[in-house]
Structure 1
Amino acid sequence: MLNQNLPEPELLKTLLQPLLEDFKYWFGRSQTFLENEKVSFLEPQQQSELLARVKQAQQEVSTAQLMFQATGGQVGIDMATLVPWHQLVTECWKVAIRFRSEQATQPEVEL
């Protein structure tokens, strides 16, 4: 449970810093996945657009991290910014889960 007696900047650091790191991690994994796998249930254009959205979100997260660090943790991030990032991470998870599920059900080819 969070200590509600923490000063506001410390509370921001406790919550926001790890959240931004999580976004950075998951967007990085999503980028690697989308660049290295052909996702059969997505049209190439759809996969390309998803990758572009991931890259854009990565830039936004990096900018937010820089601002947060530059101000010594004195600024927060509006929920209107966080919600689309969360939705994008969830969308990427769903694509990866479906991809792995379909990979697991495909018969192996013997050479």
Structure 2
Amino acid sequence: MSNSQPSEPELLNTVLKPLLEDFQYWFSRACTLLENERLSFISCEEQTDLLERVKQAQKEVTTAQMLFQATDGQAGIEASMLVPWHNLVAECWRISMRWRSIKQKPE
């Protein structure tokens, strides 16, 4: 029985690539919501701030993806960079869930 551990580039390609794609997906959805809906449960300033933070995170993720591709999957990302993106996605999920629950209530 062989102990075939994946190489670091294989592991990065298996884990990091889809993770970065997920961040892009969720940030894109958040931008669509924040740009197209007025969320009555947060102030205009909070909505604008959240949108700007999401757009900044999108740029950071795009840069990470470009670096990953340019190095043929040889470059990873510090976990300390992933945590703020994860927290921002979670914040966007909470906002989205609240917006959906308000939108679904009968008037």
Is 1:25 matched up with 2:42? no
Question: Once the 2 structures are TM-superposed, how far is the Cα of residue 4 of structure 1 from its aligned partner?
Answer: 6.2
- The 5 Å alignment of 1:73-92 reads 73-92=73-92
Which AA in structure 1 matches 2:80? A
Partner of 1:98: 98
Partner of 2:69: 69
Q: State the alpha-carbon separation in 2 of the partners of residues 44 and 17 from structure 1.
A: 34
Secondary structure (helix, strand or coil) at the match of 1:14 reads helix
TM-score by length of 2: 0.95
Which AA in structure 1 matches 2:62? S
Question: Once the 2 structures are TM-superposed, how far is the Cα of residue 106 of structure 1 from its aligned partner?
Answer: 3.8
Identify unmatched segments of 5+ residues in structure 2: none
Moved beyond 3 Å, runs of 4+: none
Q: State the alpha-carbon separation in 2 of the partners of residues 43 and 4 from structure 1.
A: 53
Output one character per residue of 1:55-109: Cα deviation in whole Å (capped at 9) or x when no partner: 00000000000000000000111111000000000000000100110111141xx
Which AA in structure 2 matches 1:61? V
- The 5 Å alignment of 1:40-79 reads 40-79=40-79
Which AA in structure 2 matches 1:11? L
Q: State the alpha-carbon separation in 2 of the partners of residues 106 and 57 from structure 1.
A: 35
Which AA in structure 1 matches 2:20? L
Q: State the alpha-carbon separation in 2 of the partners of residues 4 and 58 from structure 1.
A: 35
Secondary structure (helix, strand or coil) at the match of 1:72 reads coil
Q: State the alpha-carbon separation in 2 of the partners of residues 86 and 33 from structure 1.
A: 18
Q: State the alpha-carbon separation in 2 of the partners of residues 106 and 56 from structure 1.
A: 36
